[in-house]
Amino acid sequence: MLSRNCGLGVAILAIVVILTTTMAAETHVSKQAFGHTADGAAVDLYALSDGKVEVRIMTYGGIIVSLRTPDRNGKLDDVVLGFDSVDQYIAKNTPYFGALVGRYGNRIAHGSFQLDGKTYSTPKNNGDNTLHGGIRGFDKVVWAGKQIADGVELTYVSKDGEEGFPGTLTATVRYTLKGSALRIEYSASTDKDTVLNLTNHSYFDLAGQGRGDILGHVVKIDAERMTPVDAGLIPTGELKAVAGTPFDFRRPHAVGERIDVNDEQLRLGGGYDHNFVLDHASGVLAEAAEVYEPSTGRVLQVLTDQPGVQLYTGNFLDGTITGKEGRVYQRRFGLCLETQHYPDSPNHPSFPTTELKPGEKFHSVTVFKFSAGSR
């Protein structure tokens, strides 16, 4: 009798365990009003939680406003830089904190490129160059939001000629959260030949946002080559081997280990602000980079099917921005891993193409996967 009761108890316990695990694995998604833009457009905030990681994304700029992940002791902290309100994102001239960047992420030299024999001009908002889609890029528009399973789908229709780019481009970005992995799925189509390069511009500090610099973060990037730049941070066209340089992250290195060594490329970028040529085949979703923060044990794995990733170490942050929780963002307080095509590709026929034609569908996936532990 006793053993039969015992067996029943074990069975019930097993069912409860299975149920709670299944329930914990389900992602909860909710939506709330988050304010308005200067011209009165309503902005919504979507909150995603998979029971371990919590992400908040707003429809203005498709911006990841906060991302809370557990450290090795299970303590949650926000690991991305940003602001507390939409007004601040608009007023404070944000350096693309958490934003969806487009139509063309990174730089286009001299605000000009040729396509089908025609010359197109885009706004010069970064010295002589176009940066991150121009003056009003995808980070500064309100996207249409829709709740989907495990996340949110954002859509933006960019008009023919917007910021100088040809073709009406319909862009859709799906953010979904499951198993501590934030998946960003980009798709786009156009009605005229155009160029595009979409990415997310989150600034990570895995020790907790605004707490200090990211020089102790240990980074690994699966890239044998990088694209060296000129003084305007435009690629020279060369694909340079990283071996024997401070850009060799094929084995993990702390960001601060070599960032200030005497190296022309580091001097030009004021630190790391460079595109790495990923080893894996383009179009195949694979691990591209990994970041480990020793004091908290947090780990970020970046998977992508894009051919490149820009490592930007927040060299232009200078203490003039006060962000979430009143924290002041000093130089190198954030680290970006912007999965992308190479900068200025429209002016480099030898780089993987960023052209999109009518009838084609652009599709790309990047995953930010979080965990924690000791090494």
Catalytic center residues? 201, 338
Which residue's beta carbon is nearest to the bound ligand BGC?
95
Q: Which of 61, 62, 82, 95 binds ligand BGC (CB under 6 A)?
A: 95
Interface with ligand BGC, residue 78, by CB under 6 A: no
Dihedral, CA of residue 207, residue 91, residue 311 and residue 354, to nearest 10: 140
How many whole angstroms separate alpha carbon 82 and alpha carbon 328?
A: 11
> Which residue has tokens 């929780």?
325
In this complex, which beta carbon is closest to ligand BGC, that of residue 61 or of residue 95? Answer: 95
DSSP string, 75-99: -EEE-B---SSHHHHHHTT-S-TTE
> Is the Cβ–Cβ distance between 244 and 225 less than 8 Å?
no
In this complex, which beta carbon is closest to ligand BGC, that of residue 246 or of residue 270? Answer: 270
Whether the bond between 103 and the residue before it is cis, its omega within 30 degrees of 0, is yes
Least distance in angstroms from the C-beta of 271 to ligand BGC: 10
Least distance in angstroms from the C-beta of 216 to ligand BGC: 21
Q: Which of 46, 89, 96, 175 binds ligand BGC (CB under 6 A)?
A: 96
Q: Which of 173, 233, 288, 309 binds ligand BGC (CB under 6 A)?
A: 233
How many whole angstroms separate alpha carbon 172 and alpha carbon 185?
A: 8
**What x-and-dash track marks residues 249-278 binding ligand BGC by CB under 6 A?**
------------------------x-----
Strands 253-254 and 298-304: unpaired
| Burial tier of 10 (Cβ tally within 10 Å: 0-12, 13-18, 19+) | exposed
> Is the Cβ–Cβ distance between 81 and 210 less than 8 Å?
yes
Least distance in angstroms from the C-beta of 181 to ligand BGC: 23
# of chain residues touching ligand BGC (CB under 6 A): 9
**What x-and-dash track marks residues 290-319 binding ligand BGC by CB under 6 A?**
--------------------x-x---x---
Interface with ligand BGC, residue 136, by CB under 6 A: no
Spell out the residues 6+ positions from residue 35 whose beta carbon is closer than 8 angstroms to its own.
42, 43, 85, 86, 87
Least distance in angstroms from the C-beta of 270 to ligand BGC: 9
* Interface ranges with ligand BGC (CB under 6 A): 95-96, 106, 233, 273, 310, 312, 316, 338
